[in-house]
Each structure stands twice: as structure tokens, then as C-alpha cells.
Chains A and B, each alone.
Chain A
Amino acid sequence: MSYVTKSPWVIHYDGSSCNGCDIEVLACLTPMYDAERFGIINTGNPKHADLFLVTGGVNEQNKNVVKQIYEQMPEPKVVVAIGICACSGGIFAECYNILGGVDQVIPVDVYVPGCAARPESIIDGIVQGLGVLAEKRAAMGSAPAAKTEE
């Protein structure tokens, strides 16, 4: 956990999920699971966010919304696909309006499977995403994660 030296903020968007994963994402932020102990705050503003949590697959109507949120986020940014629908389309993969997983539209860094994904695995996915975030920050040549703590 040494790389959690900054407070990463997350933004959550419901692609076309059934709500199951969404409420589990929210449940992660409430007292029982309390992802805020890692300094994680759920923000509604893409310009404040480091991590993008997407639940559900993408369809014709929402693919532009997903793209827009992704493009508005500042670099470095990490995308976590939560639930099997966001990973591959899941049970709805055969539906006429589902293009597939989120990776059809934007690059995905961490995949969290499950239907619905359990809060434990969602938190695990977020924490893995923090590792990717630190790597990306280092690769960009900005201050490495360890230095910001002095």
C-alpha cells in the first residue's frame, strides 16, 4: 500500500448495467466497506477524478457519454471496468443494443469480474488501479509517488 500517497478521487458512471454493480460501488463508499479509508472520494466531476469506474456494457446511446467523461479527465487516468457486463457484455452480450465491454470504446486498465461484483473485489480493483496510476504518473515524468510525501 506504499503507493497510496495521494488521495485518488473516483468518478462512477453506469453504462448499461442492471444497477447491481452500481449499488455495490456505492456500498463500497459507505461505512461497512469504507473505501474512503484509502482517501478515495466519489466525485461527480470528471475534471477532479483520477479513477473512472464504469459498470455495465456500452450501447449506441451511451458510448459518447463514456468517451466524453474519459476525455474530460486529466492525465494520468485509470479506467476500472466493474462487473462482467463492463468486462465483456456478460449476460447481455447477445442483446442487439450492446456493443460489448467498455474496452470497445475506451482503454481499460483493470477488469473486475462478478455478477454482481462484490464490494471486496471492487475495492481490490480500485487498489490495483492505484498501482497503475502510480506507474502512469512515473512514466509521465511528473513527481514520483514517493516524493510527494515528504
Chain B
Amino acid sequence: MAKQTIIPFGPQHPVLPEPVHLDLVLEDETVVQAIPSIGFVHRGLEKLVEKKEYTELMYVTERICGICAFGHNWGYCHAIELLMKVDVPERAEYLRTLWHELSRVHSHLLWLGLLADAFGFESLFNHCWRLRESVLDLFEKTTGGRVIFSVNKIGGVHRDISPEVLTEMATVVAGMRKEVNELINVFVNDTSVKNRLVGVGVVTKEEAEDLCAVGPTARGSGVVTDIRLTGNGVYDKIGFEPIIEEAGDCYARTLVRCRELIQSMDMVIEICETIPEGEIAVPVKGKPEGEFFARLEQPRGEAFYYVKGNGTKNLERMRVRTPTNINIPFLVKSLEGCSLADVPVIVICIDPCISCTER
């Protein structure tokens, strides 16, 4: 047996925008085991339910993660609305879905950039992030914020979007299509990119199911799982189909995200065109009592929000289960047997969001 060496990876590492630590057990150049350790970003924000009122807590949930901020906010509001039996107006649901899908476009473009950075394609990284800025401009125009919006509230949304701005949004997103297609062409067809992705970090469908993987990571292994199918938002009205790839390697995960990017842009355009008129919020009275949970498909996978109220203005418990946390066993599995040089690509391929994971 070859001699085993342990290489520490992280918490501060050039490829990682966020701190996570992996101990890589190597035999020569091959990883035989990866031991993750987390906790560098733990803040303990679930405990803040004791100090913040349930309406204020919305701003805390938004800051679980700055990339999928809107989704976390929506998930929390959705759980409270189900608990208090609030009927959200249809236009508000459309607006929420619109912002959520735009968030997915920005998150996937960001991820494609990070992936390009992980295999050393610096100009591709810059192109992805340049395109992402046009999405952020749309956010700034409609909500006032670039990454954190605070536009949700319990019972609806704070801001409406005027018909002119909706038309402009559809035009901007349609205009991005050509450039996004060019970028995707590089990720999907370029030989040097394929050499780094095809056949790397393979996890079969059975293994992915056993490891309870979620989101694009699981869909890249052929697992049909997408919470958008279960009917929050207006996904049933705009003809949504989950995107599945079978191969289970890094290339398949990239393909899933590329196709989702196009699909989300189509959904944004469709919502801009079909959004109904009406109220954007309903008044909410009373205090939450009882318990409920809501699920939501984040760009990284299924997120789960549990709330328990006791009839006072402070909740008794809030619990969030985030996609990266669930995908860490999947990551450990996909690292087994890979070469040391492939580690950054495989780590990036589950789209890790450490501040979600550790909260």
C-alpha cells in the first residue's frame, strides 16, 4: 500500500470564496478520503428568534445567504403565511416568482464564473460576471438593492413593478440570451473545458439517492427532485419542467445548470408578459401560533423552513435546512478516487454556499 499523506484544503484557499476546510487523505496523487470540517461561518442566527419579532426576523432570514437572499426571505414568509392562513394575492406570487427566477439566473451565472475560475479559465470567469451585472441592475431598478432586497413582507411584497419596467426587463433578459448562449457554448463544447469536467467526480443515481442529494447536484445524477413541481409560487401556471441529466459527472452538473439558466430566463420573460393586475399585499393581523414548514427550490436545491409560534410576537423556534448542508455527503463521495488537481472543480460543482450551511 502506498504511503498516505494528508493535505489540508482551506479554510482560506484561492479557489474558495468562502471558508470550508477539507482534510484530503492522499495515496500518491489520488484522494482516498475527504474529511470535511465546517463551522467557520457559524453565527447562530436561529437563536435570534428570541430577540427579534417575527416580522423583524424576515430581515435576518434574508441574511442567511447573500446569493439566494430572496429565496430565504420568501421561504420564511411562506411558512409564516401558511401558519397564519394568509392568502397571498396572485400578483404578489407572480412578482415573487419573477425575483426568485432572476436570482437563479444571477446565481447560476455566478457559479459558472466560479467554475471557470476553478479550472483556470480567467477570461471566461470575467465574462460570466460581466453578464451577471445586467441582472443585478434589474434588481437595483426594481427593489433598490443589488444583493439584499428586503422586498418581501408577510402577506405579499413591498414594491410593485410598473408595466414599462416589466417590458424593459423582458427586453433586457431577451437581449442577454445571445451572450449567455455564447458562454454556454464554451462550457458545453470547448475541448479544454470538457477535459476538466467529463468523467470527473462521478456519482451514480443510486448513490445520489442514498446520500439524499438535492438540487442541480442531484439532477445531474438523474434524480428527479425539484420542489418547484410541488406548487409554491406560480410554477404550475407557467409550464415548468425539471431538467435532468443522467451522467452524474461534473459535466452533467454543469449542463443542468446551463439549461436551467436558459429555462429561468424564459420563465422571467413569460412572467413579465403574463403577470395579472391586482393587489400586491394583504394586511396581516394577529400572532403566529402552532407550527408549520415550507419548502422551496433554491438555486442550489431544496431548502426547508420550519417555524413554531406560541401566540406571542416572538417565535418559539425557527429552523432552516439548506441545500449545501445536505450535499456535503455527496461531495465527500464524489471526491473519493479523484486526483488532487480535480479537487477544486469537484468542490465547486456542488455549488457550495457555506454561509447557508452554517448559518
Chain A residues near B136 (CB, 8 Å)?
27
How many positions in chain B have a CB within 8 Å of any CB in the partner chain? 43
For B353, give the chain A residue with the smallest CB separation.
A19
* A7 close to chain B: CB less than 8 A: no
Q: In the complex, what's the smallest C-beta–C-beta distance from A135 to chain B, in angstroms? A: 27
Q: In the complex the two chains form, is B40's CB within 8 Å of A19's CB?
A: no
Minimum Cβ distance to chain A for residue B15 (Å): 8
Is the pair B11, A16 in contact by a Cβ cutoff of 8 Å?
A: no
Cα distance, A12 to B48, chains bound together (Å):
28
- Fill in one digit per residue for A63-98: 1 if any B CB lies within 8 Å of its CB, else 0: 001000100000000000000000000011011111
Nearest Cβ on chain A to B354's Cβ, whole angstroms: 8
A105 to chain B minimum Cβ distance, whole angstroms, is: 14
Complex Cα spacing A17 to B43, Å: 9
A12 to chain B, nearest CB (A): 8
Q: A69-B12, A94-B48 are in contact. Are A23 and B41 (CB under 8 A)?
A: no
State whether A65 and B11 are in contact (beta carbons under 8 Å apart), knowing that A23-B67, A23-B110 are contacts in the complex: yes
| Complex Cα gap A98–B63 (Å) | 15
A19–B47 CB distance below 8 A:
no
**B64 at interface (Cβ–Cβ under 8 A)?**
yes
Contact with A along B54-92 (1 / 0, CB 8 A): 000001100111110100000000000000000000000
* Per-position binary interface string of chain A over residues 18-54, scored 1 when its CB falls under 8 Å from any chain B CB and 0 otherwise: 1111111011001110000000000111100000000
The residues of B that contact A14 with a CB separation of less than 8 Å are 17-19, 41, 354-355
CB-based nearest A residue for B114 = A26
Select A65's contact among B15, B19, B354, beta carbons within 8 Å.
B19
Interface residues of B in 114-146 (CB under 8 A from A): 125-126, 129-130, 132-133, 136, 145-146
A32–B110 touching, CB < 8 Å = no
Check if B126 sits within 8 Å of A31, measured CB to CB. yes
Scoring B18, B59, B125, B136 by chain A CB atoms within 10 A of each residue's CB, the highest score goes to: B18
Whether, in the assembled complex, A115 has its beta carbon less than 8 Å from a beta carbon of chain B, the answer is yes
A129 CB–B CB distance under 8 Å: no
Closest CB in chain B relative to A52 CB, distance in Å: 11
Does B148 have its Cβ within 8 Å of any Cβ on chain A? yes
Residues on the B chain within 8 Å of A16, using CB = 40-43, 355, 358
Question: Which residues of B have CB within 8 Å of A96?
Answer: 44, 47
CB distance from A38 to the nearest CB of B (A): 17
Contact check, B44 vs A95: say whether CB atoms are below 8 A apart.
Answer: yes
* Complex Cα gap A91–B59 (Å): 9
In the complex, are the beta carbons of A97 and B44 less than 8 A apart? Answer: yes
Query: How far apart are the CA atoms of A16 and B113 in the complex, in Å?
Result: 23
- Is B130 a contact of A30 with CB atoms below 8 Å? yes
Q: Max chain A CB contacts within 10 Å: which of B42, B43, B69?
A: B43
Cα distance, A8 to B126, chains bound together (Å): 20
Which single member of A18, A26, A94 contacts B17 (CB below 8 Å)? Answer: A26
Q: Shortest CB–CB separation between residue A88 and chain B, in angstroms?
A: 14
* Binary contact readout B13-42 vs A (1 if CB under 8 angstroms, 0 otherwise): 111011100000000000000000001111
From known contacts A13-B19, A26-B129, A27-B129, infer whether A95 and B47 are also in contact, taking CB-CB under 8 Å: yes
Q: Taking CB as reference atom, which chain A residue is nearest B50?
A: A94
Among B44, B59, B66, B130, point to the contact of A17 (Cβ < 8 A): B66
In the bound complex, residues from chain A placing their C-beta under 8 Å from that of B145 are 116
Q: A24-B146, A32-B130, A116-B147 are in contact. Are A19 and B66 (CB under 8 A)?
A: yes
22 contacts between A and B (CB under 8 A): A12-B17, A13-B19, A14-B41, A17-B66, A17-B355, A20-B63, A20-B69, A21-B66, A23-B66, A23-B67, A23-B110, A27-B129, A30-B125, A62-B40, A91-B60, A91-B63, A92-B43, A92-B63, A97-B42, A97-B44, A115-B63, A118-B146
Interface residues of A (CB under 8 A from B): 12-24, 26-27, 30-32, 43-46, 56-57, 59, 61-62, 65, 69, 91-92, 94-98, 115-116, 118
